[in-house]
Structure 1
Amino acid sequence: MRTHRIFIGLVVLCCFCLPHLIATKPFEVVVDQSGHGHFTKIQKAIDSVPNNNLQWFFIKVKPGIYREKIIIPYDKPYIVIVGGGKRVTRVEWDDHYSPEESPTFSTFADYTVVKRITFVNSYNFPSEGKINKNPRKPAVAALIGGDKSAFYSVGFAGIQDTLWDLDGRHYFHKCTIQGAVDFIFGSGQSIYQSCVIQVLGGLLEPGVAGYITAQGRINPYDANGFVFINCLVHGTGTAFLGRPWRGYSRVIFYNTNMTNVVVPEGWNAWNYVGHEYQLTYVEHGCFGSGSNTSRRVKWVKNLSGSVVQSLADLNFINRDRWVQDLPVAV
């Protein structure tokens, strides 16, 4: 009788424990164009994630060029997409009718994590070393709209409006971002750490300078802004570090290597001439042939060291330590 009670107790205990174990075990699927995975398309793998998902769902993508558009809707959080390497795993599409409709990759969900993959909008982007002759238009490679999302060793390739850092807190680590005009834009609250910013200004009309950033902070109380830490800015042609998409635009380059691709003026007021005092554009501790600030526009901000340090710190986006809690190691 005692043995029988012990057995019943173990069964009851397992009945309570099993759902918890199942709920916390991450799911994993494989995308492989050759048919040796669970899916041959990345979007099909995303579609398989339950709505309002509350556990990490891993999608491993085998090397290859995937011709598809990808959308992660707002009700599919906790998705991790891991490619085989940003040079060998590429997603390409060529929409260009509007910035909203054009992204090759879009995520509106919180807790999106991507690693070792490249997203390309090929409408204007050169292919196999050949110059693309399509007329230049906004053609977005990636739109990042959810909160607490991170990208590790990810490539973003386009010419105009490459990376739409739309909204939310985002972390980019060792990413490569290519473009010529406003190719990092939006109202995100984001840190770009150890990233390569490659200007493709040589693809623009002769004598025309490009623009790296177009940040969209709307008022002085908004927390958002772009912070570049320990990055490399290089490429062909020339480019301004940024121009304001909205009236209180905020961009900081910290301890960044700038080549002579950066124009001596550094920044452009665009549609906000006469309101430059509202803009927060900062360079601190930068070096390289393009970092000389002697000919910069006079309205560049000269913030105190303590203020700069508070902005050029992971806590700018990470006060609740969500970056450390992500399941993908740097």
Structure 2
Amino acid sequence: MRFCGSFIIFICILVIFCCGFWGVEGSRWTYVAQSAPIGRTIIVDQSGNGDYTKIQPAINSVPSGNTEWIRIIVRPGTYREKVTITPDKPYIILEGQNRSTTIISGESAGDIVQSATFSTFADNFIAKWIAFENTYNYKNTRTEIKKAVAALIAGDKSAFYHCGFYGVQDTLWDCSGRHFFYDCRIQGAVDFIFGAGQSLYEESYIIVEAEGILGPGYVTAQGRENPNDESGFVFKSCYLRGNGKVYLGRAWRPYSRVLFYDSDLSNVVVPEGWDAWEYNSSVATISFSEHACRGEGSDMSRRVAWQKKLNDSELTELTSLSFIDRGTWLQQQP
């Protein structure tokens, strides 16, 4: 009997290792599938000791309709170029060495699409240890800031690990699709995380650089259009730091949805917390929420009266990985 029991245990372990493994998500056990293999690796090196000296040609080399994960390793340096990943080039991993030493840098403003330093429209994209910046507003007085996008993210199933996003206005256009940001650093002053993405930001630093602008800035401008729209920005276990004053968000669309959960908010947050912008007559449809936050900026005693209080079920739905990861696409990435 002991042999039979040991044999059964052996078979169970073998099945788990062949098919995947069990992992922990919060307090729940979840199945994590074995990650996908990487087909090939491309090296970008400014010094010429790689396959390419710029990033865009390396991306162009990925075949249209690509079906295997391709890793593009970007060696340290500031790459002054606009980079675009078109919809026909999925399964790309863009990997730097460190977000402080591997930087894609642009200087353009005005049109939010054309100004973007980095744009990805393809599904199944990963970025690691790399920074995206738009320096346009750094060289202008803060009373003349313009829309200047550092990164435009419009593909579905996109993940960013240890990345940086630096700008002043409209830094990160979290445009559409399901996105995951882990241990990222996002900097700006006005609407610097905006769009209609369905996104989870976890253990990330949100850095406000609003000192000197006219009036308070805004961290988010979320664009949820209707009650059936699944988009929303969730900040989980994040840190809000910086200078000047900001609202946590303003409603870019009538059903705008943002949640700050278990996050540390500094005194940069204005007491009211949130702004309805053009939707003062219909604040009931806006879902701006805070739960279990701490820090000087977490005092909700003077928040707008229409801030939404979520129930336990709603909180679980929004803060679980399943908010963005139905189908476990995230765990199956390399």
Instruction: Output one character per residue of 1:42-81: Cα deviation in whole Å (capped at 9) or x when no partner.
Output: 0010000000100001000000010000000000000000
Report the structure, 1 or 2, having the larger strand content.
2
1:199 aligns with 2:212: no
Deviations 1:202-240 (A, max 9, x none): 1413xx100000000000111110000000001000000
Tell me which residue corresponds to 2:124.
Answer: 111
> What displacement does 1:135 show?
2.6
Q: Do the aligned partners of 1:145 and 1:166 also contact (CA within 8 Å) in 2?
A: yes
Report the Cα offset of residue 132 of structure 1.
Answer: 5.7
Candidates 204, 222, 231, aligned match of 2:229:
222
Percent identity over the alignment is: 51
Whole-Å Cα distance in 1 between the matches of residues 163 and 38 of structure 2? 26
Q: Does 1:52 align with 2:65?
A: yes
| 1:161 paired residue number | 170
Q: Which runs of 4+ in 1 moved over 4 A?
A: 131-134
Give the direction of change, closer, same or farther, for the CA distance of 1:276–1:59 in structure 2 (3 Å limit).
same
TM-score (norm: length of structure 2): 0.87
Whole-Å separation in 2 of the counterparts to 1:253 and 1:136? 27
Given the alignment of the two structures, is residue 287 of structure 1 paired with residue 294 of structure 2, yes or no?
Answer: yes
- In structure 2, what residue type is equivalent to 1:46? I
Q: Is the 8 A contact 1:124 1:134 kept in 2?
A: no
Q: In structure 2, how many angstroms separate the alpha carbons of the residues matched to 1:134 and 1:239?
A: 16
Aligned to 2:238: 231
Equivalent AA in structure 2 for residue 36 of structure 1: N
Q: Does 1:171 align with 2:171?
A: no
**RMSD of aligned C-alpha atoms?**
1.4
Separation of aligned partners in 2, 1:136 and 1:201: 11
Number of residues of Structure 1 aligned to a counterpart in Structure 2: 299
Query: Alpha-carbon deviation of 1:125?
Result: 2.9
Counting only pairs closer than 5 Å after superposition, residues 223-302 of structure 1 correspond to structure 2 as 223-302=230-309
Post-superposition shift, 1:303?
Answer: 1.3
Distance 1:133 1:244 in 2: 23
Please state whether the residue corresponding to 1:308 is helix, strand or coil: helix
What is the rounded CA distance, in whole Å, between the counterparts of 1:108 and 1:241 in structure 2? 27
Structure 2: tracts of 5 or more residues without a match: 1-36
- Hey, what's the Cα distance between the residues in 2 that align with 1:159 and 1:25? 36
**What corresponds to 1:4 in structure 2?**
none
User: Is the 2:143–2:213 contact (alpha carbons within 8 Å) kept by the matching residues of 1?
Assistant: no
Higher normalized contact order (CA 8 Å, seq sep 6+, divided by chain length): 2
Q: For residues 116 and 132 of structure 1, what CA distance do their matches in structure 2 show? A: 30
Secondary structure of 1:310's counterpart equals helix
Give the alignment's TM-score, normalised by structure 1. Answer: 0.89
One-letter amino acid of the structure 2 residue matched with residue 280 of structure 1: S
In 2, Cα distance between equivalents of 1:60 and 1:109 = 18
What does residue 189 of structure 2 align with?
Answer: 180
Deviation per CA, 1:182-219: give whole Å up to 9, x if none: 000000000000010001011413xx100000000000
Could you give the per-residue CA deviations for residues 107-163 of structure 1, whole angstroms, max 9, x where no partner exists?
00001100001100010136xxxx767931000000000000000011000000000
